[in-house]
Amino acid sequence: MSVEVVMPKLGMAMKEGTVSIWNKQVGDQVGKGEPIASVSSEKIEIDVESPAEGTLLEIAVPEGEGVPPGAVICYIGNPGEKMAPVNASVQTQEPKGDAESSVKEKPEMSKQVKTGGDRVKISPVARKMAEAGGINISEIQGTGPGGRITKEDVQESLKQSREQKAEEKERDKTALEPAEQAKEMKVSGIRKVIAGRMHDSLQQTAQLTMNMKVDVTELIALQKQTAKTVQNRYENKLTMTDFIARAVVLSLQQHPQMNSAYINETIHFFQHVHLGMAVAVDKGLVVPVIRHSEKCSLVELSRSIKTLAQKARVGQLSNEEMQGSTFTISNLGSYGVEHFTPILNPPESGILGVGAVYETPVFKGEELDKRSILPLSLTFDHRVLDGAPAAAFLQSVKQFLEEPVTMLL
């Protein structure tokens, strides 16, 4: 009997998962533990590994299609082996009835679909494949008993459809000038989620960005002075990002209007600071959340940032670790970017963009001194607060960073 491979549950809140890409095709050999497909939920994308060694007998869920957790997405076994029965827990469309009668009816599962005045005989698997591929079953010539449409008939129809589309696309490309030809990539998985969320953010909020420069010369000196003590006592290294996160948390406590969300024409003010830290990964951008950040010391906050960032880069974040943020920080300083316009992470009211530190001569009284400057960009929702309170929040962040000892008290 073949082995079922099911859609994993990526977090407690997951209702549907999508097959982003198949790494193997029907007939390919697979080893136990070998990645055979990538699946994604709203925020997470992971590889699905084969539970057994064998041949990929059938793909039940094509790329781009969503199914609930536990649904069978493919079968692994030996060529010609009988398919395992579909798990009853995912047959949400089957009517409830007498168990014995259901068993008796299974051999006669050929499903008949009305098309005009005729009825088309088709197996459930073939019907599902046709629906997923957008194939009109009334146009398929069945080769099974009594003209019944089999999965092989659908596969052949899909093959012909793909070939036809490929020919049409090739004709379209030859009609273009060479300079106009472009490589195409279907948007799916995390990239598709990000595209939708960012578009909705700009469409549904009143976003405004203000910039400010912060003198972090003393902060860098404090960071160097405490580096050895922090390493010896806590086995940790405090980064500029850690200090910025601490300054933001303290400022949010002073300016609760920024630690809020606009939901259904109501402003929700949060008692706790759940800080989102944007992390760039290979397939897009994820935002792990440090919950109850106001209860963390500077060292504890630093450890949480590093731990979640590492989990994000290796794809081990859970859905719960990426939900519930009340304010987000996005740092592009490592890329040499100074000022930029971060986009709100709905329904949050604010996001802080952090640029690269640069050195510049600054007058201190009559003296010209070399100072280290940190560019900050605050995007806020103008529906929630106006420019003055937003500027006051940014000013608080600036004061903490320019007087870093206050973050340690």
User: DSSP letters of 327-379?
Assistant: EEEEE-GGGT--S--PPP-TTBSEEEEE---EEEEEEETTEEEEEEEEEEEEE
Tokens linked to 272: 């706790």
For residue 335, give the amino acid letter.
Y
CA torsion, points 332, 337, 341, 344, in degrees to nearest 10? 0
- Going by DSSP bridges, is the β-strand pair 66-67/54-59 parallel, antiparallel, or unpaired? unpaired
DSSP state of 40: E
| DSSP E strands, 26-116 | 29-30, 35-40, 45-49, 54-59, 66-67, 72-77, 111-115
Strand partners, 211: 377
Number of H helices, E strands in the chain: 8, 21
Tell me the C-alpha distance between 36 and 286, whole Å.
24
User: DSSP letters of 169-227?
Assistant: HHHHHHTS-GGG--------HHHHHHHHHHHHHHHHS-EEEEEEEEE-HHHHHHHHHHH
Tell me the C-alpha distance between 55 and 390, whole Å.
59
CA atoms within 13 A on the CB side of 309: 16
Tell me the C-alpha distance between 152 and 157, whole Å.
9
Biggest CA-to-CA distance, the chain: 98
User: Which of 28, 199, 292, 382 is the catalytic position?
Assistant: 382
Assess whether 153 carries a catalytic annotation. Answer: no
Residue with token string 């530190």: 357
Q: Which of 321, 209, 341 is nearest to 275 (CA)?
A: 321
Assess whether 386 carries a catalytic annotation. Answer: yes
User: Which of 28, 200, 369, 386 is the catalytic position?
Assistant: 386
User: DSSP letters of 274-332?
Assistant: -EEE-EEETTEEE--EETTGGG--HHHHHHHHHHHHHHHHTT---GGGGS--SEEEEE-
Catalytically active residues are 382, 386
